[in-house]
Chain A
Amino acid sequence: MSAPAAASNLSALDGTRGASSLGGFNLTALRLEITRVLRNRRTLFFIVVFPGIFFFLFGLGNKQARAAGPEALAYIMISMAVYGAMVGNTSGGASVAVERSLGWSRQLRLTPLTPAAYVAMKVLASMTLGLIAVCSTFALGAIYGVHMPVQTWLMAGVLAWLCSSVFAAFGLFVGFLFPAENVMQFVGPLMAFMAMFGGLFMPLTALPKGMQDFARYTPMYGVGSLARSPLVGGATPWAVGSVVVWAIIFAVGAMIVFRRDTARV
């Protein structure tokens, strides 16, 4: 960049300027976006503090869980990591609702940023929140007595992170569907419900038979099962299929509402 003084003759106004590469996608914007999101205490609470508290409540503070041995504690830790990552991804995606209600999306349409690049940055920011949730919960587990082989830590962490990113698409879907600033207040309870059927708050075997069958069709089932599979097995074709099918459903849903949205503005 040249010195400010050079601007006085509007040197760039010669019409030979180029368009942004990658539709405006860039790491500076991504970094600023993540910094901004982490500034929100509410978000941090739900993706770091909340899963941590649950880990203590269901795990360390639970006689049954302690009696069931160290594997139970690891099981609960992974479940909580998945829960935090799922909330992080959903809230990251759903933040498009806030940005629309504040007019930020409209402002961005006056820049070279393409809708595809915008969505790509949203997904990456959401996945960063998911990663933070997984890492913080795993760190807490490591400090408070979870023991697993190194490859189990790694596999469980990576699976929890990647599988929960399905919910970034879910967040985008909800965010484009309901352009309200408080969208997460409605989605929160829904996610707690889904988390239950994903076996995140208690093992699914603790549920009645009918509920267990129903749970297999809910979005969290596959994500939870796959994330815990390095520890207890259960990477069934059904679990893999669940993640893939729900990923497609959410992504297509998000794409439809997104198209409708950009056509209207």
Chain B
Amino acid sequence: MLAIDLRNLTKRYGAVTAVNDLTLQVAPGEIIAFLGPNGAGKTTTIDMMLGLARPDIGTVQIYGKTPTEAIARGEIAAVMQTGGLLKDFTVEETVQFTASLYAHSRPSNEVLERAGISHIATRRVGKCSGGEQQRLRFAMALLSDPRLLILDEPTTGMDVEGRREFWTAIREDASRGRTVLFATHYLDEADAYADRIVLIRQGSVVADGTTAEIKNLASGRRVRATIATPNIESLRALSGVTQIEQRGDSLLVSCTNSDVVARYLLTETDARDIEISSQNLEAAFVALTADDATPPTVGARS
């Protein structure tokens, strides 16, 4: 049985299509990153997985159940970005309150321990730092021992130290076999913590693969040269050329084999000032998720 089964999800808000025919399957035990720029539809998709929003078209199944059934049985839990806490509860009271709502829950002290906040159990929530509040949300999410844990941009607004501690707690927990899906726009987080990365742009999946596969998408190089009248057709015919751009006299060629392109330019044309640079994950992310980017054909599962 799939942990997450999203089929042809579409959600519109007025004239805006937040999620556009999105299909995604996640197997139990996967740690999957939902990567995309702000406004790509990550949160809307997550809201539909949690039953907080209803898709206009398409179906959502969480371990074979509707989101509402899965939540009622504590099979799915989420750490939301901000809010969702009462300032005048203590940390411990917040956890006890939430625990009391479930038919079965882990003991409060155990989840506080696992989230690394037992030392501030008696502190008022209003007096906790952003990172401590986020670990409290994590502790609350652990109460029902969910089979699926969803984190929506969990480290937004945290300092470097807070982010590191938060991910340490998540990673320790995930090693127990829980399915984890997290949304982020931090590439390094997706790279460091996920087994699989799903890139989304304008409400659709534009790339989906293992972290290595996504990195390969981005492993190409860029060749820049000054040339007055390049023969675009010949360039396109070279092996490994993915994109050609002209800016005045400048020619920019994105490719997987820069040697071939450079050799061609130097031997067959009058190109000069040749520069070769490597693209990083950051550039791939920008390229894949930019509004005018052509969806790549590599690595996309359907």
A19:B72 contact, CB within 8 angstroms: yes
Q: Which of B72, B86, B178 contacts A104 (CB 8 A)?
A: B86
A107:B85 contact, CB within 8 angstroms: yes
Interface residues on B, range: 35 or more
B52 partner residues in chain A, CB cutoff 8 A? 106, 109-110, 265
- State in angstroms the CA–CA spacing of A111 and B100 once bound together: 10
B63:A15 contact, CB within 8 angstroms: yes
A9 partner residues in chain B, CB cutoff 8 A? 176
**A10-B145, A15-B63, A15-B75 given; A113·B101 CB < 8 A:** yes
- State in angstroms the CA–CA spacing of A102 and B77 once bound together: 19
B93, CB-defined interface residue at 8 Å: yes
B86:A4 contact, CB within 8 angstroms: no
Q: Mask for B147-161, Cβ within 8 A of A = 1, else 0?
A: 100000000000000
A28, CB-defined interface residue at 8 Å: yes
**A4-B113, A29-B97, A110-B71 given; A19·B80 CB < 8 A:** no
**A10-B178, A18-B103, A20-B103 given; A111·B98 CB < 8 A:** yes
- State in angstroms the CA–CA spacing of A112 and B143 once bound together: 12
Q: Mask for A46-59, Cβ within 8 A of B = 1, else 0?
A: 00000000000000
A112:B80 contact, CB within 8 angstroms: no
A32:B101 contact, CB within 8 angstroms: no
Interface residues on A, range: 35 or more
B177, CB-defined interface residue at 8 Å: yes
A36 partner residues in chain B, CB cutoff 8 A? 86, 88-89, 93
Identify the closest chain B residue to A98 (Cβ).
B86
Q: Mask for A3-37, Cβ within 8 A of B = 1, else 0?
A: 01001111011010111110010101100110110
What residues make up the interface of A, taking CB atoms closer than 8 Å to B?
Answer: 1, 4, 7-10, 12-13, 15, 17-21, 24, 26, 28-29, 32-33, 35-36, 39-40, 99, 102-104, 106-113, 265
What residues make up the interface of B, taking CB atoms closer than 8 Å to A?
Answer: 50-52, 63, 71-78, 80, 82-89, 93, 96-98, 100-104, 106-107, 109-110, 113, 140, 144-145, 147, 176-178
